A and B are shown apart, each in its own frame.
Chain A
């Protein structure tokens, strides 16, 4: 069994009239990349903020490396790096000063901080922007600098709250590369994201949250297999076709989104090909089932026939 680094039991966060996190239990293991997925308002960011000790718990318990978050916040924060969702780089400083000032908050001595900052500038490909003021960076550069800043204290745990939201594909892939290389170095990573491809790409394990609860948990590939099978058949809606589909795949889940039908089945690979051979249908496609299908199935919004 891998070592448990973070353990939450009955973890709850309640605001005046809103239950943001509702008695959740979870564990994060050492050196894994664990994804928290969920629609907006599901409680992901709240959970992340409780892990790095800036939000007090309402009830339940939360321990990081065996330390209670309410008792040892400083010790815990020392071993965590945080890349928040909201850009909060210090606009009064240049790129390098952002790293150095941050290092000072961690009591890192100046020469060591400078060495580490140079290394991180290289890592985040910002060497040329060393003396540029934050305002003049692109969104992608800012995200990379936030990642670099989160690494200044050489954290054992890295919290990435929507690290690629709003980035173009090039910038996203660059961040993904960096995350993968950190994972290889043995950093434990907790990632929240709205992008299911990102979660499937990076996460060893995902927890799906909705309305403050964890509603499912598992390896991305296993979740896909368990909830939506292997293939998905998509075609234009037609009452005739619908009837045939229902006869042919009585156990299948038929979902209508707009004027398209999606057919999910637990049957093995190949059944849809056979079907289309017998009933050639215009505009029909067969694709691999993915994490987004799981996500939509579990968190709702589907209209079932």
Chain B
């Protein structure tokens, strides 16, 4: 049987039990050992952006869609931190644990199976998104940029979005020949998304075809839409579309990434 056929034949829904949380707990314990260092970047980074772009650049920018520039970018900063923390946790972080530390090899000799190891990693990535973006949200709140009580729904949405970016990142981890490989998705996927997803300037600058394309394929667009809507209290129908889009993409990549990792780890 060819490699591809074998993969197709063995493709299945992952068998998961409560043991997923044992893997999550392992990562959580490591994180808490150095929590001060881990809390620093999500605390400082948004301050720099808000000051430099919001106050600095914002002074030259007229209102965007009726919003002061700083208020336009604030939700984007939260959404970007969702993307970055989980994507990099499940690419560089997971790759180091898998390849250099052989942590996964150690875990699968216990009653925990490989699917549960990967699912635990994905949930951990989502948790990192939740933690980081909640800190960013706190900074944004301190700047007085939150105008709707619906903002309390942002953390659960961050967890969901985190699971999506974790799962996408884990697919790259499953095919990465070495750690430098992550430069490709970093610069070809994450960086353009960071700049082009309705984050620092509005979508309406794009021709309609490009807008449709971005809506169809860029996950960050939907994370930004949801975060902005909840922060400002604009409940529009686009929010429903975004949440369905994220849920569907998350399920797809969650299952795909576990199967790809299984192929990589179990020969």
Which chain A residues lie closer than 8 Å to B144 at the CB level? none
| Chain B contacts for A153, CB-based, 8 A | 110
Report yes or no: A93 in contact with B25, Cβ–Cβ below 8 A: no
CA distance A220 to B25 in the complex (A): 46
Tell me whether A106 and B266 are in contact (CB under 8 A).
Answer: no
Q: Are B3 and A105 in contact (CB under 8 A)?
A: no
Task: Check if A54 sits within 8 Å of B108, measured CB to CB.
Answer: yes
B243-267: which have CB < 8 Å to A? Answer: 266-267
> In the complex, which of the residues B22, B266, B267 contacts A105, with contact meaning CB atoms closer than 8 Å?
B22
Once the chains bind, are B3 and A88 in contact (CB under 8 Å)? no
Q: Given the complex of chains A and B, what is the CA–CA distance between A235 and B110 in angstroms? A: 52
> Contact at B22–A88, with CB atoms within 8 Å?
no
Chain B contacts for A104, CB-based, 8 A: 22, 25-26
Q: Which of A52, A91, A97 contacts B101 (CB 8 A)?
A: A91
Q: Contact at A84–B105, with CB atoms within 8 Å?
A: yes
Q: Chain A residues near B101 (CB, 8 Å)?
A: 88, 90-92
Residues of B close to A80: CB separation below 8 A: 109
Q: Smallest CB–CB gap between B43 and chain A, Å?
A: 23
If A93-B30, A101-B29 touch, does A88 touch B102 (CB 8 Å cutoff)? Answer: yes
The count of residues in chain A whose C-beta lies closer than 8 Å to any C-beta of chain B is 29
Interface centre among A16, A82, A92, A107 (most CB of B within 10 A): A92
Q: Which of B103, B105, B111 contacts A107 (CB 8 A)?
A: B111
Inside 8 A of A88's CB, which chain B residues have their CB? 101-103, 105-106
Contact indicator B109/A90 (Cβ below 8 Å) = no
* B110 in complex: contacting residue of A55, A77, A89, A93, CB < 8 Å: A77
Interface centre among B19, B113, B267 (most CB of A within 10 A): B267
A102 at the interface (CB under 8 A from B): yes
CA distance A105 to B105 in the complex (A): 13
A5 to chain B, nearest CB (A): 18
A63 to chain B, nearest CB (A): 18
Q: Are B110 and A86 in contact (CB under 8 A)?
A: no
- Residues 7 to 39 of chain B near chain A (Cβ within 8 Å): 19, 22, 25-26, 29-30, 33
Q: Given A55-B267, A92-B33, A93-B30, are A102 and B105 neighbors across the interface (CB < 8 Å)?
A: no
Most buried by A among B3, B19, B33, B106: B106
Instruction: Say yes or no: A105-B103 contact (C-beta < 8 A), given A15-B267, A54-B266.
Output: no
Q: Does B196 make an interface contact (CB < 8 A)? A: no
Q: Does A56 contact B (CB under 8 A)?
A: yes
A205 nearest CB across to chain B (Å): 24
Q: State how many angstroms separate the Cβ of A98 from the closest Cβ of chain B.
A: 9
- The minimal Cβ–Cβ distance linking B9 to chain A, given in whole angstroms, is 12
- When C-beta atoms are compared, the residue in chain B nearest to A91 turns out to be B101
Which residues from chain B contact A30 at a C-beta distance below 8 Å? none
Once the chains bind, are B105 and A90 in contact (CB under 8 Å)?
no
> Would you give the shortest CB distance from A118 to chain B, in whole angstroms?
19
- Contact check, A84 vs B109: say whether CB atoms are below 8 A apart: yes
- Are A90 and B106 also in contact (CB < 8 A) when A15-B267, A55-B267, A101-B26 are? yes
A78/B109 in contact, CB under 8 A: no
Residues on A with C-beta less than 8 A from B26 are 90, 101, 104
Given A86-B102, A101-B29, residue A106 in contact with residue B110 (CB < 8 A)? yes
Interface: A74 (CB within 8 A): yes
Restricting to A48-67, which residues have a CB under 8 Å from any CB of B? 52, 54-56
In this complex, the member of B25, B33, B110 whose beta carbon has the largest number of chain A beta carbons within 10 angstroms is B110
Q: Are A77 and B266 in contact (CB under 8 A)?
A: no
Q: How far is the CB of A90 from chain B (nearest CB, A)?
A: 6
B145 within 8 A of A: no
In contact, B110 and A102 (Cβ under 8 angstroms): yes
Rounded to whole Å, the gap between the CB of A119 and the closest CB of chain B is 19
B236 to chain A, nearest CB (A): 44
CB-CB < 8 A to A93: which residues of B? 29-30
Having A16-B3, A84-B109, A93-B29, one finds 4 other A-B pairs with CB under 8 Å, namely A52-B109, A55-B266, A90-B26, A106-B110
